[in-house]
Amino acid sequence: MNSLATIYGSVVRARNALYNHGIARVRRLEGPVASIGNISAGGSGKTPFVMLLGELLKARGLKFDVLSRGYGRDTRGVLLVDPAGLPQQFGDEPLLISRKLQVPVIVGEDRYEAGTFAESKFGPQLHLLDDGFQHRGLARDFDIVLVTPQDATDRMLPAGRLREPLLSLRRADAIVLSGGATGEAFPIQGKLVWRVRRGIIPKSVPPRPIVFCGIARPQNFVLQLRTANIDPAAEAFYRDHHAYSEKDIRELLALKQRSDAGGFVTTEKDAVNLGPYLSALEPLAVVPVKMELTDAANALDTMLRKIDERQGRIS
């Protein structure tokens, strides 16, 4: 496993070198691009941060769209997300972002093509590039990277969860310390350092619920529930982006009966992936994630100012 991680790391460094030296092609959209990404595989809070940043932009009256790969979808090519659609069409996280922010969300394997499609329909407005730190073929005007405490001591894939070495943070503009991460553990000299607090908003949770989810770090969700004085009767975890089936529902209902539980509790992303099965698990509490950015107004001002310096003023 360590040898595979060494090979993976070598490939990543070679690829980055091609971009760093201007050998690999980088394409630029007409509108400015702000990327939100990470250096590890899942669980850093990218999607909640995209929604947080989107809400801050909406409060300023700024128009923007979101460009995403659409991980886990069955379709191909560039598509405008329909909020009433299915995760199989667009991916669970783009669908959730579309429903929560109510702005254009465009999915596409090639984010440049997704961006040109967006500009043809909505004009060259600000683009938020979801999970874009490794998508270096698209030029960006501001790079935001979220890190967690686990990233500081983790290893490269597949031995660990790191998609890139910590030194890759040098190309970021702002490093977001998430999950209690501290700046001392990361190479952040000369970078903007933002801090976020991430929690949940549990409402109308049934007594002794079954907690189930298909997310990158399910134990964090359980810990947040316990911190909110919610003691689960049992737990059921699935792979990240899990698409629920009738079999899953039958098994969850059987687990509820065996555990004498009062109902279920899950995440917003899982609610998207449950689709038509949502009502079969009533009573069910869908718990939103709440993310707060320290000194948000100043952080947003700084981001917009730097974007203006690099590419004309946002209209």
Cα–Cα dist 73/93, whole Å? 10
Backbone angles phi, psi at 155, to 5 degrees: -115, 165
Which band of pLDDT confidence, cut at 50, 70 and 90, is reported for residue 315? very low
Tens digit of each residue's pLDDT (9 = 90 or more) over 30-80: 999 999 999 998 778 999 999 999 999 999 999 999 999 999 899 999 999
Query: Averaged over 203-210, what is the pLDDT?
Result: 96
Cα–Cα dist 175/220, whole Å? 21
Q: Which of 78, 69, 29 is nearest to 46 (CA)?
A: 69
Cα–Cα dist 260/156, whole Å? 42
What pLDDT was estimated at residue 65? 98
DSSP annotation of 295 reads: T
What pLDDT was estimated at residue 311? 79
State what percent of residues in the chain have pLDDT above 70. 98
Q: How many CB atoms lie within 10 A of CB 250?
A: 11
Cα–Cα dist 274/253, whole Å? 14
What pLDDT was estimated at residue 313? 52
Query: Averaged over 203-228, what is the pLDDT?
Result: 95
Burial level of 305, CB count in 10 A (0-12/13-18/19+)? exposed
Backbone angles phi, psi at 314, to 5 degrees: -70, 130
Asked if residue 264 has pLDDT above 70, the reply is yes
Q: Which helix (H) or strand (E) holds 129?
A: strand 126-130
Q: Which of 155, 216, 148 is nearest to 183 (CA)?
A: 148
What pLDDT was estimated at residue 48? 94
Query: Averaged over 5-34, what is the pLDDT?
Result: 94
Quick check: 281 and 12 in contact, CB under 8 A? no
What pLDDT was estimated at residue 1? 64
Please give the C-alpha separations between residue 309 and each of 32, 58, 197, in angstroms, as whole numbers. 11, 21, 29
What pLDDT was estimated at residue 7? 87
Tens digit of each residue's pLDDT (9 = 90 or more) over 113-158: 999 999 999 999 999 999 999 999 999 999 999 999 999 999 999 9
Sort strands 234-237 and 126-130 into parallel, antiparallel or unpaired.
unpaired
> What domains are there in the chain, each with its CATH number?
2-198+292-310 (3.40.50.300), 202-287 (3.40.50)
Asked if residue 215 has pLDDT above 70, the reply is yes
Q: Which of 66, 54, 37 is nearest to 176 (CA)?
A: 37
Cα–Cα dist 118/301, whole Å? 25
What pLDDT was estimated at residue 2? 74
Q: What is the dihedral of CA 130, 180, 159, 216, to 10 degrees?
A: -50
What pLDDT was estimated at residue 312? 61
Asked if residue 258 has pLDDT above 70, the reply is yes
Asked if residue 266 has pLDDT above 70, the reply is yes
Tens digit of each residue's pLDDT (9 = 90 or more) over 151-192: 999 999 999 999 999 999 999 999 999 988 999 989 889 999
What pLDDT was estimated at residue 5? 87
pTM: 0.93
